[in-house]
Amino acid sequence: MSAILARVSDIPDGKIAVYDITDTDGRPSPEGRLVAERLTSRLTASGGVRVIERRRLEAALKELSLSAAGAVDEAGLARAGFLSGAGAVVTGTLTELNGGYELNARAVNVVTGDIISAATVPLQIDMREGPSAMRLPPARLPAHPAAEKEAPQAPPGWNLWPGRGKAFFRDGAIIYCTESRQLDNADKPRSGYYPGLLLEKEIAGKKWELEIMADYDMKGIGGQWFSVFVWLGKKGAHPHRPSPGGSLAVTASRQKDTGYHHDFFGFAYEPGGDMVRFGAEINSLRFERDGDLFTIYAGTDGKDYRKALSVFSPKGGAAESQRLVLGAQAFGDPGSCAVYRSIKLNGKPLF
């Protein structure tokens, strides 16, 4: 930050925006989000520059049909920064190194594309302390943690794909609680994160209706969510979303991230679909299939359903296998839980 403030006179109009700090492949990470939040807070507190709100930068990225979550080149980012009213944009990468992290950050002039200033800084980060923390024990990752004494359980007729997370079938409900660094979109460890536990139920037919009712206790530190999706693909393939063996995943996800002030229900299909957001009050979902047409409706307490998304997919419709999958993702502290009170297929309970 000091490198940026030392060149504040070179920042047009003294206005700056902070974009995602990604890994070296351009992918966002919870640690990168935390660093971006911290940089934003410190630049604002310094009084030396005016910091443009991230939502204005996101709106500009959307207007330019660019991603608002990583994989944006500096030219596109500079154009978005200009449209948002910033004179410079801070971006960079965060890399795990020697038990900690190395931050490589730079401020880019949005008019000329020139780098105004750059810095390489070693960091220690503790996700457990939320978005204000920038120093923590070294980020060496433990081996996959042992589950509680009780092994994960699925309802009769359901399958379990092992991974991080805890799931139990108790008192006629499925209880799923997160563990840190778990993913619902991977079947192998990557970049310090691990595949999450998945529960699946094979379903049949080309015309059906699934209704799911659930309650959520969201912690949200570092970003957490619970996903419910219909996965269509090859028989026997791991049903993460998206996966090499998958043709289509139609997903609803309860998400919370205190660092980004996100608290919503999101709906998307993969590959290729943009996310649609509904309010956090959603606790009822209805998935429908009619041939190659797949639709999700969102409601509250089993009523007031509204269409969230619809996708026509002949490739998904021709898939060998279709499954209802419950998963979760957690970057920071564990402890968020979902209680699936009722899941019905064509009005018949699935547990």
pLDDT along the chain (351 residues), means of 10: 58 82 79 82 76 79 61 72 83 80 85 82 61 39 41 92 92 90 90 91 97 89 88 95 90 88 92 90 96 97 94 96 96 83 95 92
pLDDT at 172: 87
**Quick one: fold of 2-132?**
Rossmann fold (3.40.50)
**Alpha-carbon distance 198 to 71, whole Å?**
28
Q: How far is CA 132 from CA 35, 117, 259, in A?
A: 9, 24, 9
Residue ranges per domain, the chain?
Answer: 2-132, 159-349
307 HSE (CA, 13 A, CB side): 6
The DSSP symbol for 295 reads E
pLDDT at 145: 35
Strands 173-177 and 337-345, how do they pair? antiparallel
**Alpha-carbon distance 186 to 209, whole Å?**
27
- Out of 3.40.630.10, 2.60.120.200, 1.10.150.20, 1.20.120.1200, select the CATH number for domain 159-349: 2.60.120.200
Longest alpha-carbon distance in the chain: 67
User: Which residues lie across from 303 on neighbouring strands?
Assistant: 300
Q: How many CB atoms lie within 10 A of CB 187?
A: 17
- Cβ-contact 69, 28 below 8 angstroms: yes
**Alpha-carbon distance 335 to 179, whole Å?**
7
Q: Would residue 92 be called left, alpha or beta, if left means φ above 0 and alpha means ψ between -120 and 50 degrees? A: left
- Cβ-contact 243, 237 below 8 angstroms: yes
pLDDT at 143: 34
pLDDT at 21: 84
pLDDT at 5: 53
| pTM exceeds cut of 0.85 | no
pLDDT at 102: 84
